A and B are shown apart, each in its own frame.
Chain A
Amino acid sequence: MGTSKSLEEVMVLVENLNVTFGENQVVNDVSFNVKQGEIIGMFGISGAGKTTIIRVLTCQIEKKNWSGNVLVTGLNPSKKKNHSKILSNIGYVPQLELLNLYFELNPMANVEVFTSTYGLDKRKAKETAEKLFKILDIPEDTWKKRVSRMSGGEKKRLSMAIGLIHNPDVLFLDEPTTLLSCLN
């Protein structure tokens, strides 16, 4: 009974979102909402505004560049004080791994850096990481290697593991299938 109600919970609400950089309006009056458990695919040729919308939802665009009513897990990213709470509720896997991985550290050290910012228990975080690495098929001999030495596909999968490590309510994947072979 309780669950059916929570399934209807709106995780992301976007109303009349406009994003402008200087003279350029890159997002034009976009509205939609996403309920818990829904998988949303965003399609459009380059420059359509897909990544920009995600960047608003993940607190990466300054408020002066956008307007509209936006709620992510019930919190408004226009307020700076909501950012850390939003960021601990969501997972974000960017298009380029260099944006969310420390290349000079090994995968496990990356896990430590990110989970400590989320305030997760160290031992538990390591267990979760090992589980995710296995699911995502990140070979065990790379766990102690520098990320910079990993292959493109391994980096991408590690980036996904980092995005999932804190069991987020909402996950954002930007071009997840680039670099991955069909076997993955």
Chain B
Amino acid sequence: MFIITHDLEAALICDKTAILRQGKLLEFDTPQRLISSLPSGGLVARISIENLDQKVIKTVQKFDSVKNVLRVGNETIEVLMENFENNLPKLMKYLFENDVKIYSMSRDIANFRRFFQIRIQEEEEKENEVNIYEKNSEGGIIS
């Protein structure tokens, strides 16, 4: 059975999920395998932060082992990083030191929606890099 859907929760009932972008098949595998291919097997720190804005998100991104930061709510981000168990306390300490005010933190496993967001984002970034490279090589404006 094939289900085409925008409803990412539907991945829960799927044996395999196909992710397509611009006519290309990016992934075709079980949702569990896809999620566990994320950094640290898909472990996420869900952090609620006072006055969350782009600046705070940049601060989080600057932390060395952080791989992905997803804004999942008005005041909430989900953070994926390498070597999760070791780095989570270090990340929290780093945030305190940088005056980021944390309401709460919980740990979880990423769901399929997060995998989808990350995978599509990754592809868009790759494309942007290529575009910049092409522009530079055409215009020759590289300093």
Q: What is A's interface to B at a CB cutoff of 8 Å?
A: 12, 19, 25-32, 34, 37-45, 47-54, 57, 95, 170-177
Q: Find out whether the CB atom of A31 lies under 8 angstroms from the CB atom of B25.
A: yes
CB distance from B127 to the nearest CB of A (A): 14
**1/0 per residue B54-91: CB within 8 Å of A?**
00000000000000000000000000000000000000
- Do B15 and A40 touch (CB < 8 A)? yes
| Contacts of B17-34 to chain A: CB distance below 8 A | 17-25, 28, 31
Residues of chain B contacted by A27 (CB below 8 angstroms): 23
Contact among B2, B23, B28 with A48 in the assembled complex (CB-CB below 8 Å): B23
Which residue on chain B has the smallest CB distance to residue A26?
Answer: B23
B5 / chain A contacts, CB cutoff of 8 Å: 41-43, 173, 175-177
The count of chain B contact residues (Cβ–Cβ below 8 Å) is 27
Dominant SS at the B interface? mixed
Cα(A176)–Cα(B20), bound, Å: 18
The answer to whether B10 touches A32 (Cβ under 8 A) is no
CB neighbours of B28 from chain A (8 A): 32
Q: Which of B18, B23, B24, B31 contacts A42 (CB 8 A)?
A: B18
What is the CB-to-nearest-CB distance from A113 to chain B, in angstroms, rounded to a whole number? 24
Contact A42 B21 (CB under 8 A): no
Contacts of A57 in B (CB 8 A): 2
Kindly report which residue of chain A lies nearest to residue B7, judged by CB atoms.
A177
Q: How far is it, in angstroms, between the C-alpha of A41 and the C-alpha of B29 when the chains are bound?
A: 10
A136 to B24, CA, bound (A): 34
Partner pick for A173 among B3, B8, B19, B31, CB 8 A cutoff: B3
Determine if B24 and A176 form an interchain contact, defined as CB atoms under 8 angstroms apart.
Answer: no
11 contacts between A and B (CB under 8 A): A28-B23, A40-B2, A40-B14, A40-B17, A40-B18, A42-B4, A43-B5, A43-B18, A43-B116, A44-B20, A53-B20
